[in-house]
Structure 1
Amino acid sequence: MPQTPHSTGGYNKNLYQAKDEVYSGLYYRDNNLVSGSLEALIRHLLPTVDYYPDRTYIFTFLLSSRLFIRPYELMSKVCQLYVEQQRPGDTQSDKIRLRKMAPKILQLLTEWVETFPYDFRDERMMRGLKDLTHRLSAGDEIYRNAASQLQQGLIRRLTVLGQYEEALLKINGTTPVLGVKAPIRRDVLSICDDPFTVAQQLTHIELERLSYIGPEEFVQAFVQKDPMDNDKSRFIGQKKVANLEAYVDWFNRLSYLVATEICTPVKKKQRARVMDFFIDVARECFNIGNFNSLMAIISGMNMTPVSRLKKTWSKVKTAKFDILEHQMDPSGNFYNYRTALRGATQRSVMANSSREKMVIPFFSLLIKDIYFLNESCANRLHNGHVNFQKLWELAKQVSEFMSWKKVECPFDKDRKILHYLLTAPIYTEDALYLASYDNEGPDNNMEKDRWKALRSTLLQRA
């Protein structure tokens, strides 16, 4: 796991005062790297006989370099620089020098492969990797075996990723999304009426989805697509943020599932019981540190088709829900949530058990934070150099996420509950409104008009 990069703060207009130091195109301030030309930064990545880059630098540069250069182009450049470092000649000193370089280059490639394996779904990256490892291992059995193991491990990881994506497609393909109000045979309470168990199974889903998100997806989302890419490259590009998008889709599904479960029952007493149940599930999610499921449940219960059910809400113990809403209140830039997240993060750092290490952030807000960081700071300074202070900050946020997603879920799996949460039918927004109006009639003329329109259009489709 990458170490968390230190923060160097935002861009300082006094960046080039006397305290700055320049080393071969790299600018330092108070011993912190703050900027440099892209060429110098790439050279700083490449190990030499006497030098190996700091792991925080490797992670930061490999994460954010895609804002300036494509991964396969960076791989090609690294290979080119390595070739340049090989002095011509066949003296004993040359051989010793190359033998000292090879394991360091292999280590760099290992860190690249282990932290950013999805880069290598691009055939051009795989060709670059094979070319460089072939040069490293030529004539040396030890390095040849190490290079072979590196490539085999990468292929295994990409195979697992492909299987996961196929499983997601299969699940999505078998999950009914009902555009009309239709009878639903089962409900969550018939599957499990224990809120703690359901919260645990939601946490299983969250951690699995998180585990497949590559750190580069956060940055790749900002990269402008090259219109000159061929069809195959476009297909690769579509997959560069696929796991991030799948996780956002899961949040939306959970919100709609909660709303569907509440709006479906005809009897008010049953609707109130479902509301109470999901409030308890949300509270257990908060206690676990699963803020994403917590927010998805709150979001579902705050959807208008649910929030307008005043007669149902009058039968619900809302005090617990009010406390949860207060924790996730968006005012003050989600101040209460951010305070709770800091507390959970501190607990995680000090914890010994997986149960206490659990931190599942409200994901949409995390993406928003990274997006605004990217938008608020320039990638390059006025002299054309890369603004490395910004890259440190990006890496700091993403590396924290990396530590969270690697926590193993300590709860036992219940496949029946998991299957229901992932595949149970959900209503569209219009179908939710129709169910809501049917259960508790319209309160005003605007709602009456909408109810009539929905009955006319949706029932014709049935």
Structure 2
Amino acid sequence: MNMEGQVRGGTLEALVERLTVHDQLVDPSYTNTFFLMMHQFTPSPGQVLRLLIGRYNLVCPAALTADEAAIWREQKLVPVRLRVYNALKIWLEHHWTVQDDAILPDLDHFIRTDVAQHQPLLVWRLLDLLERHQQAATRLMLAPDACALGACRSLKRAMVPPSTGARPAPILPKSMVRLHITDVDPLELARQLTLLESHLFLEISPDELIGQACSPGRGAPAPHVRAMTQMSNHMTGWITTSVLSEPDGKRRALMIRHFIKVGERLLALNNFNSLMAVISALNSSTVTRLVKTWNHVATKHRHAFQVLCHAMQNDKNYAAYRTRLRSTAAPCLPFLGLYLTDLTFTEDGNPDMRPGGRLINFDKYLKAGRIIQELQRFQVPYALQPVEALQAYLLDHLGTAVTSPQQLYSMSLAIEPRIPSGNENKLRSMAARARLLDTGKMTLLTVESTAAPLTPLGSMPMDAS
């Protein structure tokens, strides 16, 4: 135990006993972490079930008198059985995975015999949850090609309440024929991007995050994490391509201004993941080197972009963003890459066992569990109305966006060639002075940023200009 009374380590038997202790309240975060991270420190779910059954069927010490035995049953056995019941309910309701399906027959037998006998008024809830998982397991057997993670998640999805409030009417462009991205209102563009990413984010289950399942070549497949990461990368490529595809400097500036406005709307929607893709595109050297283009971007828009960059800057391990996120209510699309980085740091930086090798290092799993549970609290659907035609347009352009850093940089050089060395320093100095805020305290944009470019997980590297 640490100074705050949290469990730091123990044998599996001791951890289960703590889960079902009779003489004090069980911390909900301990219970949730135990089942959330269980497969990382237990050989099999069957072993946990056997320990829980053992706790439920504790044997009264033979040396007790009849009166003492009655007190023991009332003050220990009854509370322990209630704790076991609550533990099973939480396991079935919130943390059951496809890996646990193998013990469904044993669990069914235990619930229908022991629990039904001793807790007849409570057993119906466990039976209801059990039946739902049995039906899901049967469906999975009949469709073996189905995604196991998705099948597991579907049982929980119905329990996630949607965000409250009426869906706002979409802001539709005048025509979807020969549509240009600047024809789409920035707010509606932000809404539809949010819905596309939210669809993937809501499907991410803990199995995709635990044990670095999302790391290349490590752990089990993480289809929704990978799909969301890929969408972020394609979004960055699409925004960059959209800017570079305009042959005229003023049109490129108009495109930059449009995406800055989209970024502001994404921030208002608490969609930090898409916002990071916008920032990564506009803050890449492929775009920032376009001095003549940025000269056409008004100061107020460059200031607005700097505000967005400040919200997501990586100074002090994203301190400003983390502070903002703590006070953000769901629905929200957090920057997924930072969660993955935090999980990797936690899992790689802490041993599985406590010093001596006999006790499970539960402190490690508490830390990882807190990260995952923080992400889960944002998995609430947005109350936004999808526009299928606009989403199809976006998916088509995201799928065909240029993502090769070499190709993008060649496009950048083609529209604004490198400045001859004799004039380069003079033009850079003029451009930097032109980008100072009225207060003179902050540079909005310089030709070469001194800070590392803000990039989402897996986004493409950019050559220096």
What TM-score, normalized to structure 1? 0.67
Q: Which residue, 155, 179, 189 being the options, matches 2:181?
A: 189
| Change in 2 beyond 3 A, CA 1:84/1:321 | closer
Q: Tell me which of the two structures has the higher relative contact order, counting C-alpha pairs closer than 8 angstroms and 6 or more residues apart.
A: 1
The amino acid across from 2:49 in the alignment is C
* Bigger proportion of residues as strand: 1
The answer for unaligned runs of 5 or more in structure 2 is 61-69, 141-145, 152-176, 422-465
Would the aligned equivalents of 1:48 and 1:101 in 2 still touch at CA under 8 Å? Answer: yes
**Secondary structure at the residue paired with 1:203?**
helix
Cα deviations across residues 351-406 of structure 1 (Å, max 9, x unaligned)?
xxxxxx44322221122123223333333221332233333332222222211113
Answering whether residue 74 of structure 2 is matched by residue 113 of structure 1, we say no
Distance 2:135 2:282 in 1: 41
**Secondary structure at the residue paired with 1:331?**
coil
Distance 1:137 1:444 in 2: 82
Q: What is the aligned length?
A: 366
* Bigger proportion of residues as helix: 1
Distance 1:378 1:313 in 2: 49
Distance 1:165 1:254 in 2: 25
CA-CA distance at 1:145 after TM superposition: 6.2
Counterpart for residue 212 of structure 1? 203
Distance 1:395 1:426 in 2: 36
Distance 1:69 1:208 in 2: 32
Counterpart for residue 264 of structure 1? 245
Cα deviations across residues 1-39 of structure 1 (Å, max 9, x unaligned)?
xxxxxxxxxxxxxxxxxxxxxxxxxx4645332321233
Answering whether residue 440 of structure 2 is matched by residue 440 of structure 1, we say no
Answering whether residue 200 of structure 2 is matched by residue 200 of structure 1, we say no
Q: Which residue, 341, 344, 347 being the options, matches 1:368?
A: 341
Would the aligned equivalents of 1:106 and 1:133 in 2 still touch at CA under 8 Å? Answer: no
Q: Which residue, 43, 47, 61 being the options, matches 1:77?
A: 47
| Change in 2 beyond 3 A, CA 1:44/1:77 | farther
Distance 1:152 1:379 in 2: 34
| Change in 2 beyond 3 A, CA 1:283/1:113 | same
CA-CA distance at 1:214 after TM superposition: 1.6
Answering whether residue 405 of structure 2 is matched by residue 413 of structure 1, we say no
Matches within 5 A, 1:60-209: 60-70=33-43, 73=44, 75-84=45-54, 86=57, 105=84, 107-117=86-96, 119-120=97-98, 122=99, 125-138=100-113, 146=125, 149-154=128-133, 162=147, 189=181, 192-209=183-200
- Percent identity of equivalent pairs: 25
**Secondary structure at the residue paired with 2:8?**
strand
CA-CA distance at 1:59 after TM superposition: 1.0
Distance 2:192 2:346 in 1: 33
What TM-score, normalized to structure 2? 0.67
**Secondary structure at the residue paired with 2:296?**
coil
| Change in 2 beyond 3 A, CA 1:375/1:163 | closer
Counterpart for residue 300 of structure 1? 281
Distance 1:366 1:134 in 2: 39
Cα deviations across residues 163-199 of structure 1 (Å, max 9, x unaligned)?
9979xxxxxxxxxxxxxxxxxx966526x52111111
**Secondary structure at the residue paired with 2:188?**
helix
CA-CA distance at 1:152 after TM superposition: 4.4
| Change in 2 beyond 3 A, CA 1:322/1:224 | closer
Would the aligned equivalents of 2:10 and 2:360 in 1 still touch at CA under 8 Å? Answer: yes
The amino acid across from 1:260 in the alignment is T
Cα deviations across residues 420-453 of structure 1 (Å, max 9, x unaligned)?
33332211313323332333334469xxxxxxxx
The amino acid across from 1:336 in the alignment is A
Distance 1:278 1:223 in 2: 30
The answer for unaligned runs of 5 or more in structure 1 is 1-26, 167-184, 228-233, 349-356, 446-462
Considering only aligned residues, what root-mean-square deviation do their CA atoms show, in Å? 3.9
The amino acid across from 2:255 in the alignment is V
Matches within 5 A, 1:369-384: 369-384=342-357
**Secondary structure at the residue paired with 1:32?**
coil
